[in-house]
Amino acid sequence: MARLRAAGCVFAEDEARILIDAADDEIGLEQLVVRRVAGEPLEYIVGGTEFGGLMIAVAPGVFVPRQRSLLLVETVIDVAGPTARILDLCCGSAALAAVVADRLPDATVAAADIDPIAVACAELNLAGRGQVYRGDLFSPLPSALRGALDVVVCNAPYVPTAAIATMPPEARDHERRATLDGGEDGLDLLRRVAVAAPHWLSRPGHLVMEIGDSQVDSATTIFSDAGFTPTIRTDRERGAIAVVGSVD
Ligand SMILES: C[S@@+](CC[C@H](N)C(=O)[O-])C[C@H]1O[C@@H](n2cnc3c(N)ncnc32)[C@H](O)[C@@H]1O
């Protein structure tokens, strides 16, 4: 614990307990502590993290699900009916899809990501509860899903390129750049998703995306221009903002 604290781990006591539980023996524990003290994210060292009451497997380089993204899960639950067809786009580990599938057992859940390692994690985390596709945004989806999705939830990369340098080293140095980099204003992916989503959504349908607080006005305009009625949801406690676009 002292070594973790000296290395700057804010939750050294909790992390020490997690590392002790993950290690097979003292030599193994030493190896895990060395990795953590060197700055590797705890989630990569132990192979996963808790999210929404589930253990989510996360391989090195794959985006570590953030607690703030539970706002997206709660928003999906609010707008989706119990048997809704839901796509987790830019799914990473499919943490969002897995928790949504857990809370809406009669819904049909699918997930998609461009990164093969993320897709492998997603398949593990969805474990037969939903199909996982690999490719650029909507491109790998079967045409049968066109106009058939009730909700698309998408936590796309939204960090402005220049702001990546100011992120904590755990994210900046260990998560793949493609999981974070949203282009000059952070909204490159959001623009593409907003334009494409209406072709895949049923009527009524909803697109739910996470954004940063400086992006509210731009995201609202982009959603309106794409034909959505936009609303903003905020969770101050978790520091989360979601833009919800509805089409009738
Ligand atoms: C911020 S992470 C979010 C991951 C996950 N939804 C979560 O909340 O934990 C963004 C994800 O978008 C994926 N991604 C980036 N560009 C993509 C694209 N053009 N098509 C599909 N996925 C993409 C990345 O591989 C990454 O897994």
Tens-digit pLDDT profile for the chain (248 aa)?
Answer: 999 999 999 999 999 999 999 999 999 999 999 999 999 999 999 999 999 999 999 999 999 999 999 999 999 999 999 999 999 999 999 999 999 999 999 999 999 999 999 999 999 999 989 999 999 999 999 999 999 999 999 999 999 999 999 999 899 999 999 999 999 999 999 999 999 999 999 999 999 999 999 999 999 999 999 999 999 999 999 999 999 999 99
Residue 91 Cα, ligand 1 centroid: separation in angstroms?
5
Q: Is the CB of 196 under 6 A from ligand 1?
A: no
Residue 38 Cα, ligand 1 centroid: separation in angstroms?
26
Q: Is the CB of 157 under 6 A from ligand 1?
A: yes
Q: Is the CB of 92 under 6 A from ligand 1?
A: yes
Q: Is the CB of 137 under 6 A from ligand 1?
A: yes
**Ligand 1 pocket test target in 114, 132, 164, 238 with most atoms within 8 Å of CB:** 114
Determine the pLDDT at residue 44: 97
Question: What is the pTM assigned to this prediction?
Answer: 0.96
Helices and strands, number each (H, E), in the chain = 10, 9
Q: How far apart are CA 202 and CA 109, in angstroms?
A: 15
Determine the pLDDT at residue 55: 97
Determine the pLDDT at residue 198: 98
Q: How far apart are CA 66 and CA 191, in angstroms?
A: 22
**Ligand 1 pocket test target in 63, 136, 172, 188 with most atoms within 8 Å of CB:** 63
Place of tokens 């786009």: 89
Distant-in-sequence, close-in-space partners of 5: CB < 8 Å, separation ≥ 6: 12
Would you say 32 and 55 are in contact if contact means Cβ atoms under 8 Å apart?
no
> How many Cβ atoms are within 10 Å of 124's Cβ, its own excluded?
17
Q: How far apart are CA 94 and CA 17, in angstroms?
A: 26
Q: Is the CB of 215 under 6 A from ligand 1?
A: no
Give Cα separations from 228 to 150, 222, 223, 244 (angstroms). 14, 9, 5, 9
Structural domains of the chain ordered from first start: 2-57 (no CATH), 67-247 (3.40.50.150)
What are 146's two structure tokens?
A: 């066109």
Sign of CA dihedral 72, 235, 10, 1: negative
Determine the pLDDT at residue 128: 87
